[in-house]
Amino acid sequence: MLRRALCLLLLLLALPALAHKASDSYLVLDVQGREVTGQWDIALRDIDFALGLDADGDGGITWGEVRARHAEIAAWALGRLALRRGGECRLAVADHLIDSHSDGSYAVLRLAGSCPSAGGELALDYSLLFELDALHRGLLRLGLDGSTQTAVLSPQRAEQRFAAGEVSRLAQFGQYLVEGIWHIWIGFDHILFLLSLLLPAVLVHEARRWRGVAHFRQALTEVLWVVTAFTVAHSITLSLAALGLVALPSRLVESAIAASVVLAAANNLKPLVERRRWMVAFGFGLIHGFGFASVLVELGLPRETLVLSLLGFNLGVETGQLAIVAAFLPLAYALRGTGFYRRLVFVGGSLATLAIALLWFVERAFDLKLISG
Amino acid sequence: MAFSELTCFRSFRLIVLPLAVAALAASALAAPRKPLTDSELLERLPLRAGDGSARELATLRAGMLAAPGAPGPAALLAQAYFDLAMARGDPRYVGYAEAVIARFGEPQAASLRVVRGLLRQYRHDFGGALDDFAAALALDPGFAAAHAWRAAIFLVQADYAAAQQECAALQDLGRATLFGGCSGLVQAYSGHLDAGYRTLQQALATTDDPGNRLWLLTRLGEVAAWRGQPALAESHYRAALALGRDDGYLLAAWGDFLLDQNRPAEVLVALAGWESADNLLLRLAEAAAALRRPEAVRLAQALGERFAAAGLRGDTTHRAEEARYRLRLRGDAGAALRLAAENYRVQREPRDARILLEAALAAGDAAAAQPARDWLAASGFEDARLRRLGQELVLVGRRAASPGGAGR
């Protein structure tokens, strides 16, 4: 018997010990217009202190003991949380679940409800447990019309107001702008496509030979045409796809993007299109737009600021592109007359691009893993 | 013996494996779930209804509810919650105590003012706490505990003259034990370890109260260790532990002593089962790291999560411990120095000076530890380890100041 007790003790020691921490509840709310959804995690130990959950007094709380009190728990908690948007919002507990945090098990209340008004500021009044535990805090993460804010709710700051004003829209715009820039920087296929079209911009093909352009203006005009055409094209398809008006299978899109890089690089080595590269940029730009859209879909577009976010992301992509052009063009123009540029950068670079893009194409089209993850 | 170990191990494995798998699965799928059976145990409460302390709390709660407006029963209940928090290192009880006191707004009874002072000093609101204790003394000049707590706060703030005045007040009230504890610590902190040790010992001889003895024995252990007498210190700590009372401060001091004596294996035994208290988890994590135990990673990570959780609440009372965590377990001297310096603006006990000196030394930034070095010079604190740290920092400071050494 003693041995069994010892074994049990060892067993208890082997399980992870729970933290002693001051009481927190975790309140996640998402308010989109009138509609409210959310989740509220409240420690079982705290509910027990307020309502007494341990019906059989054995020092343990079972699911049965919690389940029997669900209605009471919901009424107790909702009576201590008030939301106002153009008037009192109605809240209800849609489901009761259980989760674990560092200091033990929590009751999870799934919340749903609606507010009288779809706009304007949101006021939140929180008083859970304050009358019993003055160190209790509500840790709030609030999504208000797509912008996320956090707050610590305490007896001193029990009522707080959140504005869905201009600042948050600007922040939203900025966030998607940065995402756009970031995406072009990490999207090697887009960069390589653009560079393949830009490499010959400082050269002219005459009598089966490449030589440098005479004037910077000549190169700049070519670059502007190419970049503008690419931009216009991918903006069109990006918007169409992000708004859900057109949808293409991602494997097809990704394969076509790889194919566009292959063709652009190949055109440098054996020119078929020389004069009107902007048309190539436009045609393939349509495909690349679908690629950008898949990122945006993953990010999730907030409904309230849909157009603004889309514009931000698009401008971000353009900014990233312009940064590449600004770095590339002066350097290429300065080196255009050298054999280094014409042979190593132009021919060598196009060859390397061709090889990489071919590999991408095979990987994506046939769903293989060759080199890239 | 060998056989019993074997059978134990077998049954142990039989139970542990499925449970470990279940625990792993639960942690991997840490998402809200719906338990499958009503009998599933979700939470173990810290107190069972029939426990001694649970019964005592229930009685005190009933007493308060019977006379909701009376300060006496409320102060008793709040004090009981606070004592439980200190014993178990569980801050939820501090919140309960605060809520009991908060019902009175600006309390007019000495007993309530003293408990509110305790809660304020726990939150490091030392100014507010000093006010509360002073207000309690104005209402009841014989309230010795208020003088004792004021002295403790002045010691933390390194204001030894003010602390000594509180000690004198305790002597005037004829409280020999509290007076001895108070003045012994003032002596020890202000450069007279030997005299402080003797005074504390005399105070110990005046009391049979286990709570007072535990506190005095713990402080005697600390002073003996500062004097460079580890065997003597150990005997005091062991005598305090032998009283058999849960005390977070004692366990932390004992753990630090063992770590300083390079005996980390004993820390793991002494503090086993205390992972739930943050300050003891820190000592356990340091010991496991020193022994290169496999659980060291898990303990350090758990501690990091606790500090992150406290940060979410805006809680800054753990900065001294967090500085130790950054320095000794994460090797991040810069962050440790920042935390230790912020802590030292609020708390200036020897252990606060020590982590500031250690972090400054590791970061090679002698100037950042100037307040602690000033304190060492002004107080004449005699601990050899702190003096050595201070001297090493002087060298760092000189190297940085010399023309060729600025880049080092």
Range of the domain at B206: 160-245
Tell me the ipTM for this assembly: 0.73
Q: What are phi and psi of A95, to 5 degrees?
A: -160, 150
H runs (alpha helix) in B227-369: 230-241, 248-260, 264-270, 278-290, 295-312, 319-324, 333-346, 350-363
- Å between B101 CA and nearest CA of chain A: 9
| Interface test with chain A among B4, B8, B45, B103, by most A beta carbons within 10 Å | B45
Looking at the fold, whether B74 and B128 belong to one and the same domain comes out as: yes
Contact A11 B15 (CB under 8 A): yes
Name the residue among A3, A105, A137 with its Cβ closest to that of B43. A105
Q: Which residues of B are less than 8 Å from A135 in CB distance?
A: 91-92, 94-95, 98
Domain boundary among B141, B170, B196: B141
Nearest CA in chain B to A107: B32
Q: Are strands A35-43 and A24-32 parallel, antiparallel or unpaired?
A: antiparallel
- Å between B141 CA and nearest CA of chain A: 29
Looking at the fold, whether B137 and B164 belong to one and the same domain comes out as: no
pLDDT in tens, chain A (373 residues): 333 333 333 333 333 456 777 889 999 999 988 999 999 999 999 999 999 898 888 889 999 999 999 999 999 999 999 999 999 999 999 999 999 887 889 999 999 999 998 888 999 999 999 999 988 999 898 988 877 888 889 998 899 999 875 556 777 788 788 878 887 777 778 888 888 888 888 888 777 777 788 888 888 888 888 888 988 998 899 888 877 788 888 788 888 988 999 988 888 888 777 677 888 889 989 988 888 887 776 666 666 667 777 888 888 888 888 888 888 888 888 888 888 888 888 889 899 999 989 988 888 888 776 655 4
Domain boundary among B224, B245, B266: B245
Q: Which residues of B are less than 8 Å from A97 in CB distance?
A: 32-34
- Å between A141 CA and nearest CA of chain B: 11
Residue with tokens 């690629």: A291
Contact B319, B342 (CB under 8 A): yes
Name the residue among B19, B26, B38 with its Cβ closest to that of A100. B26
A370 vs B261, residue with greater confidence? B261
Q: Which range (A3-7, A336-340, B26-30, B335-339) has the least confidence? A: A3-7
B317: in domain: no
Burial classification of residue B47, based on how many CB atoms lie within 10 Å of its CB (0-12 exposed, 13-18 middle, 19 or more buried): middle
Contact A23 B92 (CB under 8 A): yes
Chain B from 65 to 124: CB within 8 A of any A CB: 88-92, 94-96, 98-99, 101-103
Q: Are strands A137-144 and A24-32 parallel, antiparallel or unpaired?
A: parallel
Name the residue among B15, B35, B305 with its Cβ closest to that of A102. B305
Q: For chain A, say whether B24 makes contact (Cβ under 8 Å).
A: no
Chain B from 259 to 278: CB within 8 A of any A CB: 272-273, 275-278
Q: Which residues of A are less than 8 Å from B45 in CB distance?
A: 45, 48, 54, 59-61
Tens-digit pLDDT profile for residues B293-321: 999 999 999 899 889 888 888 888 889 99
The total of other beta-carbon atoms located within 10 Å of residue A90's CB is 13
**Residue among B121, B176, B177 nearest B150 (CA):** B121
Instruction: Report d(CA A47, CA B333) in Å as an integer.
Output: 41
Q: Which residues of A are less than 8 Å from B103 in CB distance?
A: 131
Contact A194, A321 (CB under 8 A): yes
Contact B41, A15 (CB under 8 A): no
Chain A from 271 to 290: CB within 8 A of any B CB: none
Instruction: Give the domain CATH number at B103.
Output: 1.25.40
Instruction: Report d(CA B159, CA B142) in Å as an integer.
Output: 23
Nearest CA in chain A to B43: A61
Q: Which residues of A are less than 8 Å from B273 in CB distance?
A: 13, 17
Instruction: Report d(CA B300, CA B330) in Å as an integer.
Output: 8
Q: For chain A, say whether B321 makes contact (Cβ under 8 Å).
A: no
B176: in domain: yes
- A243: tokens are 């708004």
Contact A20 B277 (CB under 8 A): yes
**Per-residue confidence (pLDDT) for residue A300, from 0 to 100:** 63
Contact B62, B89 (CB under 8 A): no
Domain boundary among B85, B112, B141: B141
| Average pLDDT value for residue range B262-283 | 93
Tens-digit pLDDT profile for residues B84-96: 888 887 889 999 9
Instruction: Report d(CA B215, CA B181) in Å as an integer.
Output: 9
Q: Are strands A147-153 and A90-101 parallel, antiparallel or unpaired?
A: unpaired
Q: Which residues of A are less than 8 Å from B41 in CB distance?
A: 60-62
Which run of H or E residues covers position A101?
strand A90-101
Q: Which residues of B are less than 8 Å from A139 in CB distance?
A: 312-313
Please give the angle made by the CA atoms of A26, B82 and B205, to the nearest 5 degrees.
Answer: 150
B146 vs B404, residue with greater confidence? B146
Q: Which residues of A are less than 8 Å from B94 in CB distance?
A: 22, 135
Residue with tokens 């019977």: B66
**Per-residue confidence (pLDDT) for residue B400, from 0 to 100:** 73
B291: confidence class by pLDDT, cuts 50, 70, 90:
very high
Q: For chain B, say whether A54 makes contact (Cβ under 8 Å).
A: yes
**Per-residue confidence (pLDDT) for residue A321, from 0 to 100:** 87
**Residue among A153, A126, A115, A122 nearest A137 (CA):** A153
The pTM for the full model equals 0.65
Domain total of chain B: 2
Side-chain-side CA neighbours of B23 within 13 Å: the count stands at 12
- Å between B362 CA and nearest CA of chain A: 30
Q: What are phi and psi of A54, to 5 degrees?
A: -80, 80
Contact B43 A44 (CB under 8 A): yes
What letter does residue A123 receive in the DSSP assignment? E
B372: confidence class by pLDDT, cuts 50, 70, 90:
very high
Q: Which range (A198-212, A343-357, B20-34, B371-385) has the least confidence? A: B20-34
What letter does residue A304 receive in the DSSP assignment? T
Q: What is the CA radius of gyration of chain A?
A: 30
Chain B from 282 to 301: CB within 8 A of any A CB: 298
**Residue among B312, B334, B311, B310 nearest B323 (CA):** B334
B182: in domain: yes
Q: Which of helix, strand or coil describes residue A331? A: helix
Nearest CA in chain A to B103: A131
Tens-digit pLDDT profile for residues B114-147: 999 999 999 899 999 999 999 999 999 999 999 9
**Per-residue confidence (pLDDT) for residue A150, from 0 to 100:** 82
**Per-residue confidence (pLDDT) for residue A304, from 0 to 100:** 61
Helix axes B350-363, B370-379, angle to 10 degrees: 140
Q: Which residues of B are less than 8 Å from A7 in CB distance?
A: 8, 11-12, 15
Q: Share the mean pLDDT of chain B.
A: 88
Is the Cα dihedral B343, B349, B353, B359 positive or negative?
negative
